[in-house]
Amino acid sequence: MADYKIGQMLKVSADVELKGFFGDKKFIKKGTKIWIGADNLAHYQDGSIQGLAEDSTVKGYDDRGITERIFAQLKTDLPLDEFCMEHKDEDGIGICYEDIKESIQYALDELGIR
């Protein structure tokens, strides 16, 4: 039996072959990140999903994992590298990834997601 939290980030421990509903196959490499969803499914960043073991439970939230997942999506959808280079404070220090993650984390904490 495994207990998970919504948003919990895990890494695949060995190469895996996922079989889709229509017989298609997808190969997932060791070290690939997955996140546990509120739907009791493991979500891969490429959009693939996988069911959890039947005796698994999903309770509570993992704010760090949720932060990492939101950040990963933002990085995929937006030009964050350019943004971080262009936005600098008066000392010439640019906004970095950790600043963005802290902002996401703060918003989640304000909502009571921990």
Amino acid at 101: K
Q: Angle, to 10 degrees, between the axis of helix 63-77 and the axis of helix 97-110?
A: 130
In a shared domain, residues 56 and 87: no
The most confident of 42-46, 74-78, 104-108, by mean pLDDT: 104-108
pLDDT of residue 93 exceeding 80: no
In a shared domain, residues 2 and 53: yes
Number of domains in the chain: 2
pLDDT of residue 58: 94
Q: What is the pTM of this model?
A: 0.77
Task: Please give the span between the terminal C-alpha atoms of the chain, in angstroms, as a whole number.
Answer: 23
In a shared domain, residues 72 and 53: no
Give the structural domain span for 43. Answer: 1-61
Average pLDDT over residues 59-84: 90
Cα angle vertex 105, ends 62, 61, to 5°?
A: 15
In a shared domain, residues 47 and 70: no
Contact 59, 5 (CB under 8 A): yes
In a shared domain, residues 7 and 47: yes
In a shared domain, residues 3 and 26: yes
**Please, what sign has the CA dihedral across residues 109, 105, 11, 16?**
positive
Of 23, 41, 61, which residue sits at a domain end? 61
- Cβ neighbours, 10 Å, residue 15: 11
